[in-house]
A and B are shown apart, each in its own frame.
Chain A
Amino acid sequence: MAEAIIDQAATPVADEHHEGHYTSLGLSNMKLAMWLFLGSEVLLFGALISTYLLSKTRFLTELVAGNPEVVAGISNDENAELVNEMITKGSVEPLFDIPFTSLSSFILLMSSLTMVLAHKSVTEGNYKNLRIWLSTTMLLGATFMAGQVYEFTTFYREGLTYDGSLLGTAFYTLTGFHGAHVTGGLIMLGSLIYLSFKGRMQKDRAETVELVGLYWHFVDIVWVLIFTIVYLIH
């Protein structure tokens, strides 16, 4: 009975390949909880993306209509050309650097691949590969974040400030929130690498790697949405 309560209360089903412990659904508590949490995150990002879309539409409508406060909010000393282009095109596309962001997206997609390979390594008991893939994932994630910092500074110089315009507020909030999630994932990845070096991240804990992976892939999926909805459908 002692084992039974520990198993039910705290310990996840170690791995699908091993004999599992009793759960009513057959999916471990941890994994079920992670999926529920991610389900809730869908609503969070859904609201943020909707807010962005609405704000962008309202911003462009007012900008094209020549609302002086909206025009002033996006203008600085040097960007008259850019603002004019946005007005004539009725689009925020002149602001974006699509090739650069495409590269960022590629990097984040790649990090999903390395993450899943890390999980594969740990299920096979290949701890050296686990550390290699985890470190690669972390490196790619950090590169993505560096790209975001670079992008934010560029946009800021181009005249898109946080408090100046509705577009700026909505854009930085949405992408910044995603960035915060990536940062959270980086902390988790760093912890996994540390634990692996200490020999605490072995085959029977593959699920811990998988859970971090679920979170990481979810963050990647959100970027898939943001990339298309924010950057490509300008």
Chain B
Amino acid sequence: MSTESMAVGDHSTTHDDDHEHHPTAKTYWLTFLALVILTALEVAWSYLGLSGVALVLPLLIMMVIKFAIVAGVFMHLYTDLNILNGHWFTVAFGIAIGLAVSVYVVVFAAFQFNI
């Protein structure tokens, strides 16, 4: 059995062992700092008394950046994407999530503008 087990192990497509995949503690702290600064910016922006696109658009942009930072660094998405090496599955999954979310945007638009 153990030989067969080895045989299966030989097909292993795992990544090179020496490479340090996960970021350092310093990166994590800096990431946190960036998130705090962005949050502070968001709150400040909301107090400027703006409305409409001038209020919403910058807030949404900052929100998306925060989203990307947490997913990328804390959830190791950037390094795990390396593991999958830009695998088509990752791309397809990302597109699927994007399209799925856009479905809700369409619903909201249909209500909001009665198109």
Contact = CB atoms under 8 A, between A and B. Distances in A.
B83 A19 contact: no
B32 A109 contact: yes
Contacts of A31: 80
A42 interface: yes
B115 interface: no
Given A16-B21, A20-B15, A22-B11, A27 B1 contact: no
Contact size class for A? 35 or more
Interface stretch (A45-53, A64-72, A161-169, A190-198): A45-53
Contacts of B47: 98
Contacts of A217: 70-71, 74-75
A149 B22 CA distance: 36
A86 interface: no
B59 A232 contact: yes
B17 A39 contact: no
Nearest to A35: B93
Contact of B17 (A19, A24, A225): A19
Interface residues of B, number: 57
A105 interface: yes
Nearest to A38: B75
Contacts of A229: 63
Interface in B62-114: 62-63, 66-67, 70-71, 73-76, 80, 83-84, 87, 89, 93, 96-97, 100-101, 104, 107-108, 111-112
Interface of B: 1-2, 4-5, 8-9, 11-15, 17, 21-22, 25, 28-29, 31-32, 35-36, 39-40, 42-43, 45-47, 55-56, 59-60, 62-63, 66-67, 70-71, 73-76, 80, 83-84, 87, 89, 93, 96-97, 100-101, 104, 107-108, 111-112
Interface of A: 1-4, 7-8, 13, 16-27, 31, 35, 39, 42-43, 46-47, 49-50, 53-54, 57, 98-99, 102, 105-106, 109-110, 112-113, 115-117, 119-120, 123, 210, 213-214, 217-218, 220-221, 224-225, 227-229, 232-233
Given A217-B74, A232-B42, 11 more contacts: A1-B1, A19-B14, A42-B97, A47-B104, A50-B107, A98-B47, A109-B36, A217-B75, A224-B63, A233-B46, A233-B59
